Amino acid sequence: MLIVGLSDPVKNLLLHTLGATVAGDRLFCSERHDSTYRPQPSEDVEPLQATCSPEKLGRIAAAWFEEIVRRPIVAPPGPRGILRRPRRCSGHRSPLGPQRPRHCLTL
């Protein structure tokens, strides 16, 4: 299992916790709970499942992580200056495939 925490060091804020799990010839990537690392649903991060050789799984996982960490982070002002939960923005496509939209990470 590989766990990556995406954070804003200036605001000392954890944005997302991502994980990739390989079991034999299977891969599962998703957003994870920041303490238990169990998969959790997310509006920003679509899970990925794949089955193939371990070498290909490594490349697929790396592309999945890279696509997410390259997204811009947009922080619109919330009511009374409160930061909002991260949400999607639209209009982008992912290199992982035509059905997988690429989103901005927003607060």
Tell me how far apart the alpha carbons of residues 29 and 9 are, in angstroms, rounded to a whole number.
24
- Cα separation, 70 vs 67, whole angstroms: 5
What does the alpha-carbon distance between residue 63 and residue 15 come to, in Å, rounded to a whole number? 19
pTM, two decimals, is: 0.68
Q: What is the pLDDT of residues 32-42, one digit of tens each?
A: 999 999 999 98
Q: What domain range is 60 assigned to?
A: 2-106
Q: Which residues contact 83 (CB under 8 A, 6 or more apart)?
A: 13, 75, 107
pLDDT in tens, 14-68: 888 999 999 999 999 999 999 999 999 988 899 999 999 998 999 999 999 999 9
Total domains present in the chain:
1
Q: Which residues pair with 87 in a beta bridge?
A: 106
Tell me how far apart the alpha carbons of residues 81 and 65 are, in angstroms, rounded to a whole number: 30
